[in-house]
């Protein structure tokens, strides 16, 4: 999906006051000696969907809590819609939809009562907006939240985050506990939110879901930003297996010298190899021969994702919005 800049009207409709929805500069949080997140500089533009990816303990929740002023930074700062989350908490309250990673609903309230409470706390939300999201997520509002499964509690959390159509949605592991059908519905809600001019910043450790909904992914590892990539370019970087069938036998040496090409094996007219990154050099070399067929396995984004963890590639080359 390409970055899409919402129209001025769409941004006005959701109360967007700044072109930059989220900004962090050198954002750092240490818990005593323990690093939560360090030196995080990231810009999310209004209307963008950014996936915040990383394994357990990478620093995703810490970052999100800093953005919402549930934690105070050790160093650096963050702004939301150009405002300071600490100083302008009240002003931001209605413009942010937040889904915490760990949902705790005390009491025996029915989902409906709880959502009425959240709606009132936000200065009133048309009840039709609440039921619209509840229906999309197939959530029974008459059930007591305390007795709900993890997935149903997650749906309540999502409805409260989306129901007031906030300018910015900050979602910590939003698909946690949802079945595949509901995960798809959630991703559709994210796409609709983006089309309506809302900004979405969502943490996840599932690359596939982020790939479906996000414009960019920011990858954190050990408390530091390891890479920020446009989703399409993650695909382009991926390692893929390629098999080319020629009319006549080819010389492996001709292909093994190509940039990004390795593991070249030729048996008669069939060449198999691995391509890391751009496939163009291989295509141009192959085109010097008569090509009968070519097979290329889909880039494995999970592998690309892991390669960021283990080799620490590409730090911050698209950390600025629209890069």
Ligand X SMILES: Nc1ncnc2c1ncn2[C@@H]1O[C@H](COP(=O)(O)OP(=O)(O)OP(=O)(O)O)[C@@H](O)[C@H]1O
Q: Which residues bind ligand X (CB under 6 A)?
A: 31, 34, 36, 54, 56-62, 101, 205
CB within 8 Å of 249: residues ≥ 6 apart: 266, 268, 269
Nearer to ligand X, 34 or 288 (CB): 34
Identify the residue whose tokens are 């959701």. Answer: 14
Shortest Cβ 75–ligand X spacing (Å): 15
Residue 32 CB, nearest distance to ligand X (Å)?
Answer: 7
Q: How far is the CB of 219 from ligand X (least distance, A)?
A: 11
Q: Which is nearer to ligand X, 32 or 123 (CB)?
A: 32
Instruction: Please classify residue 56 by burial: count the beta carbons closer than 10 Å to its beta carbon, then call 0-12 exposed, 13-18 middle and 19+ buried.
Output: exposed
Pairing status of strand 270-276 against strand 261-267: antiparallel
Of 99, 76, 317, 312, nearest in space to 216 by CA: 317
CB of 302 to ligand X, least distance (A): 16
Give the residue with the Cβ less far from ligand X, 10 or 42.
Answer: 42
Strand partners, 270: 245, 267
Nearer to ligand X, 101 or 151 (CB): 101
Q: How far is the CB of 299 from ligand X (least distance, A)?
A: 25
Q: Which is nearer to ligand X, 101 or 177 (CB)?
A: 101
Spatial separation of the C-alpha atoms in residues 57 and 53, rounded to whole Å: 11
Q: Are 56 and 222 in contact (CB under 8 A)?
A: no
Pairwise CA distance, residues 98 & 93, whole Å: 10
Q: At closest approach, how far in Å is the CB of 59 from ligand X?
A: 4
Q: How far apart are CA 290 and CA 125, in angstroms?
A: 65
Question: Residue 42: in which H helix or E strand, if any?
Answer: strand 34-45
Residue closer to ligand X, measured from CB, 62 or 79: 62
């Amino acid at each position: 999906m390409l970055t899409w800049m919402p129209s001025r009207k769409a941004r006005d409709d959701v109360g967007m006051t700044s072109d930059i929805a989220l900004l962090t500069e050198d954002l750092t949080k240490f818990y005593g000696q323990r690093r939560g997140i360090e030196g995080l500089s990231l810009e999310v533009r209004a209307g963008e969907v950014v996936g915040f990816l990383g394994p357990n303990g990478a620093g995703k929740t810490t970052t999100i809590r800093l953005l919402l002023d549930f934690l105070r930074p050790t160093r650096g700062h963050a702004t939301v819609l150009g405002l300071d989350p600490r100083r302008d908490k009240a002003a931001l309250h209605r413009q942010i939809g937040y889904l915490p990673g760990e949902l705790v609903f005390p009491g025996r309230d029915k989902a409906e009562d709880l959502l009425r409470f959240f709606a009132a706390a936000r200065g009133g939300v048309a009840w039709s907006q609440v039921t619209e999201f509840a229906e999309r997520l197939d959530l029974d509002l008459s059930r007591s939240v305390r007795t709900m499964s993890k997935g149903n509690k997650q749906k309540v959390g999502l409805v409260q985050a989306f129901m007031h159509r906030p300018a910015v949605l900050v979602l910590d592991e939003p698909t946690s506990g949802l079945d595949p059908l509901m995960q798809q519905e959630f991703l559709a809600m994210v796409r609709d939110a983006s089309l309506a001019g809302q900004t979405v910043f969502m943490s996840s450790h599932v690359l596939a879901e982020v790939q479906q909904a996000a414009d960019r992914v920011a990858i954190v590892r050990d408390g530091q930003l390891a890479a920020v990539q446009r989703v399409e370019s993650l695909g382009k970087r991926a390692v893929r297996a390629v098999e080319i069938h020629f009319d006549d036998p080819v010389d492996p040496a001709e292909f093994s010298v190509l940039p990004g090409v390795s593991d070249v094996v030729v048996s008669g007219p069939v060449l198999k190899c691995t391509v890391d990154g751009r496939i163009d050099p291989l295509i141009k070399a192959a085109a010097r021969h008569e090509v009968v067929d070519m097979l290329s396995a889909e880039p494995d984004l999970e592998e690309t994702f892991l390669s960021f963890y283990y080799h620490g590639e590409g730090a911050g080359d698209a950390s600025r919005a629209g890069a």
